[in-house]
Amino acid sequence: MSTEMETFSKLLSLAKCLKGFGVEDLRDLLKVSSKAVWQRDEVVFDEGSAGRDMYIICTGKVSVWRKSDGEMVRLANLSEGESFGEMGLIRGGGRSAGAVALEETVALCVHYEKLILASSASTLLYRNIAQALAERLKVANDIIVFQSQIGSEVSPMLTIGRRHRFRKTSR
């Protein structure tokens, strides 16, 4: 098997955001993408910075974080086959979180501006991103319901993204 085909096979088998992609779809996506490399502790992007590209990790690890009360709060540690930056690809504006490489990391950078040129691949990619974001929204909704059930004195919507401790309240 050629090196190109091995790379295609590995990406297709690992990356959830590439579910349903065929080899031609992946080829089209690769034509509008580039390779990104970061060293350990190198910042990929900061929370609030402008950016529309998303990344699919080929090797290495990345930590995604947000600031809360001046402290960095880790949201997730990601590795091979996982993606990040999807929110920027979808909505634009400032990045909703920051990302930093935990070790030497190689990723596929999917360029927003060029994605329109790969129509079949972009349709599949956006569908898969929508499914992943829907799952994240479900988890966020479950957290809000949990917070409201434990009798938090503060509205659950005001607590998202903030560090806090729960106190039992007398009923």
User: Is 132 inside a domain boundary?
Assistant: yes
Q: Which residues of 24-61 are buried (b: 16+ CB within 10 A; e: fewer)?
A: ebbebbbebbeebebeeeeebbeeeeebbbbbbbbebb
Q: Could you tell me the CATH number of the domain that includes residue 146?
A: 2.60.120.10
User: Is 48 inside a domain boundary?
Assistant: yes
Q: Are strands 105-110 and 54-59 parallel, antiparallel or unpaired?
A: antiparallel
Q: Which residues, other chains included, contact 56 with Cβ-Cβ below 8 Å and sequence gap of 6+?
A: 11, 15, 17, 18, 81, 82, 83, 107, 108, 110
Q: Can you give the pLDDT at residue 167? A: 43
What is the pTM assigned to this prediction? Answer: 0.79
User: Is 22 inside a domain boundary?
Assistant: yes
Q: Can you give the pLDDT at residue 159? A: 54
Q: How many domains does the chain have?
A: 1
User: Is 9 inside a domain boundary?
Assistant: yes
User: Is 167 inside a domain boundary?
Assistant: no
User: Is 66 inside a domain boundary?
Assistant: yes
User: Is 169 inside a domain boundary?
Assistant: no
Amino acid of residue 21: F
User: Is 164 inside a domain boundary?
Assistant: no
Task: Give the domain range for residue 96.
Answer: 3-159
Could you say which residues of the chain have pLDDT below 50? 1, 164-171
| Digit-coded pLDDT (tens) for 153-170 | 655 555 555 554 444 444
Q: Can you give the pLDDT at residue 23? A: 84
